[in-house]
Chain A
Amino acid sequence: MCEKKKQQHSCVLERKRNTLNDQPFRRLKDYPVGVKITDIITETHDTKTFILDKPIDAKPGQFVMVWIPRIDEKPFTITKSGKHLAITVKKKGKATSAMHSMKKGDILGIRGPYGNGTFDLEKKKKIILAGGGYGTLGLALLLEEATKKNIKVDAIIGADTQKNIIFTDRFKKLGARVTITTDDGTEGKKGFATEALEEKLNARKYDAIYTCGPEIMMRYVLKLGMKYGVEVQASLERWMKCGFGICGGCALDPSGLRVCKDGPVFKTDILKDIEGFGATTRDKSGAKVQWKDMN
């Protein structure tokens, strides 16, 4: 596709999304509103789920911006939609450590849900999920939706080691056929999630692959999807400020698509053209950096 055409495509795509999507476009308020934490569930040694006193109607893949008063504001995938919004947080740096020391009754500020590019299950009958590390939690809401639609789901939950495997029980309860992989063989199959994925793709026909995890892993998943002719949908992460499409910090090259607004989920057609997919991202200043220098 020539450059001009591609760019027009992103504009057309935007118009299409805006009219097709029922997410209100002219939001009247997008500032954090403080809500109480009603419950905290420990998921793993470094991951907790926060249940919040806020109803939300979210599509799989959407996220909220979470304000930790006086500390920071960061994006988190919605892991439970409905009467009580839930987010699941891995302790990483300053903001997430502060969240991990919070108690029931403490206040977090929420705005969102954000993201017009969400996981798409239309016309799918049999799908496979591939989660890597804490990325697996980005697939939880999708699995719920798929179950509701009676879609058959195979899921690969991968991590470097046993203690970082997350959501296995939840995935099983929802009816997914789960394969666990660890790089060091401490649980499930020894090896990468992508190796297990290739075995599955060899054995069966799937309508789509859904993935969330380290970008380098998702790049490999994309490769497999293209090799086996199966559509890939991947949920991406970028540094976010506004979350609603105006600061430009989360944009992809060369399309200019914004992960916060046009994503965070993109399909094969977009993924295959992302410059430096799996290798580079942008830091808080907007400078291009290697993923390996970010973590």
Chain B
Amino acid sequence: MTIKTSFLNMNLKNPLVLSAGILGVSASTMIRAYNCGAAAVTTKSISITPRQGHKNPTVIAYEKGLMNAVGLSNPGIGAFTEEIKKIRQKNIPLILNTIGKTPQEMAQVAKKGEQAGAGIIELNPSCPNVTHEKPYASDPKLLKELITTVKKRIKIPVIVKLSPNVENIKEIAKSAEQAGADGITAINTVGPGMLIDIAAKKPVLDFKTGGISGPAIRPIAVRCVYDIYETVKIPIIGTGGITSANDAIEMMMAGATLAGIGSAIYYHDISIFKKIAEDMEKWLKQNNYKSVEELIGAAHV
């Protein structure tokens, strides 16, 4: 029995990957996540120039999940190149998540990332936090333009992160595949949502609204991955509310090749990767699986 697997150009020790925006601003935390059991790591969304993001409160947890409006803060690809190199030196499979105001900008970030040693580029066209920037994720035509522009510039695989906050995720996934995307990550945060403090009489996030993640969104993530798997042939990273081996297995049965883990770190801290990997292995043995890959899409047959 093995929980080793592969995703596009990556050979992985297990199917667990650190999701974008959790810990991923510096090499040190991503290396730590890897050493605590993650098979691959995704960076924070990186743009061409530094972004300060929104004012605090930017991340909070409520009874059923997390809500964030970090505002895509990041040091910019210039400074971040150093962090990529440090991860590269340790041969840790690295997915560089990119954002940009235009397809050209994202392609530029992707190119620099490729040169620094990133293994895969993940395009983030779906973050709901930034106003006045084109929501590629909800418009198949814009999304196609984005993917083709980036694909033309680089050789490494390009995957696209999809938002659940769209009318028809199948249609979006299909156009991503048609445009040449090598894979899909689903889902980004749900919402946006809002919480109000009744003593202060104000929304608690400074940006007022934020994307929801964690256990609250797991059923939505599973449904999206299930739908996408039915529609496209390219591999999927399923992310959203996974906090246990059970959840990761469920996500893979829905159609994911890898299980992305983010908010779970709030509930169980970084060693959750090791715990999930160990528990998955036990479960697979008990249930007579030969390989973890047998789980992919198992709920569809």
Contacts and interface: CB of A to CB of B under 8 A. Distances in A.
A18 B200 contact: no
A286 B75 contact: yes
Interface stretch (A146-154, A183-191, A208-216, A238-246): A238-246
Contacts, number: 174
A107 interface: yes
Interface stretch (A43-51, A69-77, A193-201): A69-77
Contacts of A30: 60-61, 266
Nearest to B58: A241
B267 interface: yes
B36 A254 contact: no
A32 B57 contact: yes
A59 interface: no
B52 A11 contact: no
A32 B59 CA distance: 10
Interface stretch (B21-29, B124-132, B245-253, B288-296): B21-29
Interface string A22-61: 0001111111111110000000000000000000000000
B56 A72 contact: yes
Give the interface SS of chain B, mostly helix, strand, loop or mixed.
Answer: loop
A270 to B, nearest CB: 13
B145 interface: no
Contact of B199 (A107, A240, A282): A107
A2 B198 CA distance: 51
A33 B197 CA distance: 6
A31 B57 contact: yes
B56 A285 contact: no
A10 interface: yes
Contacts of B204: 31-32, 67, 109
Identify the interface centre among B32, B61, B197: most chain A CB within 10 Å of its CB.
B32
A272 interface: no
Interface in B38-94: 44, 50-53, 55-63, 66-67, 70, 73-76, 79, 90
30 contacts: A11-B271, A25-B268, A25-B269, A26-B268, A29-B61, A29-B63, A33-B199, A34-B199, A35-B199, A36-B199, A72-B55, A107-B200, A109-B57, A109-B200, A109-B204, A111-B60, A240-B56, A241-B56, A246-B66, A246-B266, A248-B24, A249-B25, A251-B23, A251-B26, A253-B28, A254-B27, A256-B29, A256-B33, A261-B269, A284-B53
Interface of A: 3-4, 7-8, 10-11, 14-15, 18, 25-36, 65, 67, 69-74, 107, 109, 111, 240-242, 244-249, 251-258, 261, 282, 284-288
Interface of B: 21-33, 35-36, 44, 50-53, 55-63, 66-67, 70, 73-76, 79, 90, 195, 197-200, 202, 204, 206, 262-263, 265-271, 274
